Amino acid sequence: MAFEKVLTKDKNLPESRKLSYYEKVGGYRAWQKVLKTMDPEGVIDLVKDAKLRGRGGAGFSTGMKWGFVPKDTEKPHYMLVNADESEPGTFKDRLLMDAMPHSTIEGAMIGSFAIRANTCYIYIRGEFVHEAKVLEVAIAECYDKGYLGKNIFGSGFDLDMYVHRGAGAYICGEETGLIESLEGKRGWPRIKPPFPAIEGVFRCPTIVNNVETLACVPYIVENGADWFKSIGPESGPGPKLYCISGHVKRPGVYEAAMGLPLKELIYDYAGGILDDKKVKAVIPGGSSVPVLTADELDVNMDFDALAAVGSMLGSAGCIVMDEDTCMVDTILNITHFYRHESCGQCTPCREGTTWAEKVLKKIKSGNGTMRDIDLLYEMSGNIGTRTICPLGDAAAMPIESFVRKFRHEFEAYVKKEVA
Amino acid sequence: MALIKIDGHELEVENGTTILEAAKSLEKEIPHYCYHPGMTIVASCRMCLVKVEGMPKLTPACSTRIGEMPPQRKVDGKYDMVISTEEQTVKDAQESVLEFLLLNHPVDCPECDQAGECLLQDYSYKYGKDRSRFEFDKRVPPRKDLGPNMMLIGTRCILCSRCVRFTQEISGTNELMVRQRGYDSQIDLFPGQSLDNKMSMNTADVCPVGALVTKDFLFKPRNWRYENTRSVCPGCSVGCNINIESLEEDNKIYRIKPEENQAVNQWWMCDDGRLLYHTYAKLNRLEHPMIRKGDELARHPWRMTLKAAVSKLKSFNAGEVAVIGSGYATNEENYLLQKVAREGFGAKHVAINDNFPKADDIVYKQFTIKGEKLPNFQGASDMLNSKDTLSDILKAIDKGTVKALYWLGGCPEDTLSEAQLDTLKQLDYLVVQDIRESALSSIADVVLPGASAYEKDGTFTNYQGQVQRIRPAILPPKAAKTDLEILQEIVNLLDMPKVLSPLKVFGEIAGTVDGYAGMSYKALANTGIKKGEGATATETAG
Judgement on whether residues A185 and A314 belong to the same structural domain of the protein:
no
Asked if A376 is an interface residue toward chain B (Cβ–Cβ < 8 A), one would say: no
Asked if A348 is an interface residue toward chain B (Cβ–Cβ < 8 A), one would say: yes
Distance CA B144, CA B23 (A): 37
B32 within domain boundaries: yes
For residue A169, give the chain B residue with the closest CA.
B181
How far A226 CA lies from chain B's nearest CA (Å)?
34
Give start and end residues of each alpha helix (H) in B330-438: 331-339, 377-384, 390-399, 418-425
B226 within domain boundaries: no
List of chain A residues whose C-beta atoms are within 8 Å of the C-beta of residue B209: none
pLDDT of amino acid A187:
95
* Closest CB from A348, A353, A358 relative to B46: A348
Which residues span the domain enclosing A106?
15-227
Judgement on whether residues B68 and B110 belong to the same structural domain of the protein:
no
Of the residues B182, B217, B252, which one is the last residue of a structural domain? B217
B417 within domain boundaries: yes
A9 within domain boundaries: no
pLDDT of amino acid B284:
97
Asked if A375 is an interface residue toward chain B (Cβ–Cβ < 8 A), one would say: yes
The closest alpha carbon to B526, from B267, B329, B260, B257, belongs to B260
The DSSP output letter for A191 is P
Asked if A346 is an interface residue toward chain B (Cβ–Cβ < 8 A), one would say: yes
Range A68-73 contact pairs with CB under 8 angstroms and sequence separation of 24 or more: A68/A195, A68/A197, A68/A198, A69/A115, A69/A116, A69/A197, A69/A205, A69/A207, A70/A197, A70/A198, A70/A205, A71/A116, A73/A204, A73/A205
List all residues 6 or more positions away from B174 whose beta carbon is below 8 Å from its beta carbon.
Answer: B167, B168, B190
List of chain B residues whose C-beta atoms are within 8 Å of the C-beta of residue A387: 46
pLDDT of amino acid B498:
87
A358 within domain boundaries: yes
CA angle B232, B118, B256 (to 5 degrees): 20
Judgement on whether residues B195 and B298 belong to the same structural domain of the protein:
no
How far B154 CA lies from chain A's nearest CA (Å)?
15
Judgement on whether residues B197 and B336 belong to the same structural domain of the protein:
no
B132 within domain boundaries: yes
B301 within domain boundaries: yes
pLDDT tens for the 542 residues of chain B, in order: 999 999 999 999 999 999 999 999 999 999 999 999 999 999 999 999 999 999 999 999 999 999 999 999 999 999 999 999 999 999 999 999 999 999 999 999 999 999 999 999 999 999 999 889 999 999 999 999 999 999 999 999 999 999 999 999 999 999 999 999 999 999 999 999 999 999 999 999 999 999 999 999 999 999 999 999 999 999 999 999 999 999 999 999 999 999 999 999 999 999 999 999 999 999 999 999 999 999 999 999 999 999 999 999 999 998 899 999 999 999 999 999 999 999 999 999 999 999 998 899 999 999 999 999 999 999 999 999 999 999 999 999 999 999 999 999 999 999 999 999 999 999 999 999 999 999 999 999 999 999 999 999 999 999 999 999 999 999 999 999 999 999 999 999 998 988 889 999 999 999 999 999 999 999 999 999 999 998 887 666 54
Judgement on whether residues A343 and A316 belong to the same structural domain of the protein:
no
A155 within domain boundaries: yes
Asked if B490 is an interface residue toward chain A (Cβ–Cβ < 8 A), one would say: no
Give the HSE-up count for residue B81: Cα atoms under 13 Å, Cβ half-sphere.
28
Cβ density class A257-275: b for 16+ within 10 Å, e for less: bbbbbbeebbbebbebbbe
Judgement on whether residues A129 and A116 belong to the same structural domain of the protein:
yes
CB contact under 8 A, B182 and A353: yes
Of the residues A204, A227, A250, which one is the last residue of a structural domain? A227
* Closest CB from A340, A375, A386 relative to B58: A386
CB contact under 8 A, B44 and A388: yes
Of the residues A227, A249, A269, which one is the last residue of a structural domain? A227
B224 within domain boundaries: no
Which runs of E-coded beta strand occur in B294-370?
296-299, 321-325, 349-352, 362-364, 367-369
* Closest CB from B60, B96, B181 relative to A343: B181
Number of domains in chain B: 3
* Closest CB from B41, B45, B58 relative to A347: B45
Tell me how long chain B is.
Answer: 542
Q: SS3 for A22?
A: helix
Provide Rg for chain A, Cα atoms. Answer: 22
* Closest CB from B44, B56, B134 relative to A355: B134
List of chain B residues whose C-beta atoms are within 8 Å of the C-beta of residue A169: 181
For residue B59, give the chain A residue with the closest CA.
A386
DSSP A91-137: -HHHHHHHH-HHHHHHHHHHHHHHTTEEEEEEEE-TT-HHHHHHHHH
CB contact under 8 A, A385 and B58: yes
Q: Give residue B498's identity as a one-letter amino acid code.
A: K
List of chain B residues whose C-beta atoms are within 8 Å of the C-beta of residue A385: 56-58
Query: Quick check: A284 and A270 in contact, CB under 8 A?
Result: no
The CATH code of the domain that includes B31 is 3.10.20.740
* Closest CB from A342, A347, A385 relative to B57: A385
Asked if B100 is an interface residue toward chain A (Cβ–Cβ < 8 A), one would say: yes
Judgement on whether residues A128 and A207 belong to the same structural domain of the protein:
yes
DSSP B152-202: EEGGG-----HHHHIIIIIS----EEEES-GGG-EEEEPTT----STTTTH
Q: Residue B1: count other Cβ atoms within 10 Å of its Cβ.
A: 10
User: Hey, of B20, B132, B181, which one would you mutate to test binding to chain A, going by the most A CBs within 10 A of its CB?
Assistant: B181
For residue B93, give the chain A residue with the closest CA.
A382
Judgement on whether residues A302 and A376 belong to the same structural domain of the protein:
no
The DSSP output letter for B527 is T
Judgement on whether residues A148 and A261 belong to the same structural domain of the protein:
no
CB contact under 8 A, B182 and A342: yes
Pairing mode, strands B227-232 and B241-247: antiparallel
| A 186-205 near B (Cβ less than 8 A) | 186, 188, 191
Judgement on whether residues B317 and B427 belong to the same structural domain of the protein:
yes
Judgement on whether residues B159 and B32 belong to the same structural domain of the protein:
no
Number of domains in chain A: 3
Judgement on whether residues A81 and A223 belong to the same structural domain of the protein:
yes
Q: Residue A371: count other Cβ atoms within 10 Å of its Cβ.
A: 11
DSSP B404-430: EEEEE---SS----HHHHHHHHT-SEE
For residue B91, give the chain A residue with the closest CA.
A382
Residues of chain A with pLDDT under 70: 1, 419
Asked if B330 is an interface residue toward chain A (Cβ–Cβ < 8 A), one would say: no
* Closest CB from B47, B103, B185 relative to A355: B103
The CATH code of the domain that includes B139 is 3.30.70.20
List all residues 6 or more positions away from A338 whose beta carbon is below 8 Å from its beta carbon.
Answer: A288, A349, A353, A391, A394, A395
Residue A36's Cβ-count burial label (10 Å; 0-12, 13-18, 19+) is exposed
List of chain B residues whose C-beta atoms are within 8 Å of the C-beta of residue A375: 133
Asked if A353 is an interface residue toward chain B (Cβ–Cβ < 8 A), one would say: yes
Asked if A397 is an interface residue toward chain B (Cβ–Cβ < 8 A), one would say: no
B302 within domain boundaries: yes
For residue A379, give the chain B residue with the closest CA.
B96
Query: Quick check: B231 and B454 in contact, CB under 8 A?
Result: yes
pLDDT of amino acid A64:
98
The closest alpha carbon to A18, from A143, A92, A102, belongs to A102
Edge-to-edge strands, sheet with A252-257: A252-257, A239-246, A317-322, A279-283, A292-293
Distance CA B260, CA B262 (A): 6
Of the residues A227, A257, A290, which one is the last residue of a structural domain? A227
Asked if B134 is an interface residue toward chain A (Cβ–Cβ < 8 A), one would say: yes
Q: Counting one residue from A and one from B, how many pairs have CB atoms under 8 Å apart?
A: 86
CB contact under 8 A, B96 and A348: yes
Asked if A343 is an interface residue toward chain B (Cβ–Cβ < 8 A), one would say: yes
CB contact under 8 A, A348 and B58: no
Judgement on whether residues B57 and B100 belong to the same structural domain of the protein:
no
CB contact under 8 A, B100 and A382: yes
A234 within domain boundaries: no
**What CA dihedral angle connects A196, A198, A203 and A204, to 10 degrees?**
100
Distance CA B268, CA B37 (A): 12
For residue B134, give the chain A residue with the closest CA.
A355
pLDDT of amino acid B542:
46
CB contact under 8 A, A347 and B46: yes
Judgement on whether residues A307 and A263 belong to the same structural domain of the protein:
yes
How far B96 CA lies from chain A's nearest CA (Å)?
6
CB contact under 8 A, B96 and A382: yes
Asked if B163 is an interface residue toward chain A (Cβ–Cβ < 8 A), one would say: no
Which residues span the domain enclosing B207?
96-217
Write the ipTM: 0.94
pLDDT of amino acid A1:
58
Judgement on whether residues A111 and A186 belong to the same structural domain of the protein:
yes
Asked if A176 is an interface residue toward chain B (Cβ–Cβ < 8 A), one would say: no
How far A245 CA lies from chain B's nearest CA (Å)?
28
Judgement on whether residues B324 and B369 belong to the same structural domain of the protein:
yes
List of chain B residues whose C-beta atoms are within 8 Å of the C-beta of residue A339: 182-183
User: Hey, of A350, A358, A359, A370, which one would you mutate to test binding to chain B, going by the most B CBs within 10 A of its CB?
Assistant: A350
The CATH code of the domain that includes A174 is 3.40.50.11540
Q: Is the pTM of this model over 0.90?
A: yes
Asked if A322 is an interface residue toward chain B (Cβ–Cβ < 8 A), one would say: no
Query: Quick check: B500 and B443 in contact, CB under 8 A?
Result: no
The DSSP output letter for B314 is H
Distances (CA, A) of A270 to A250, A273, A277, A317: 4, 8, 14, 13
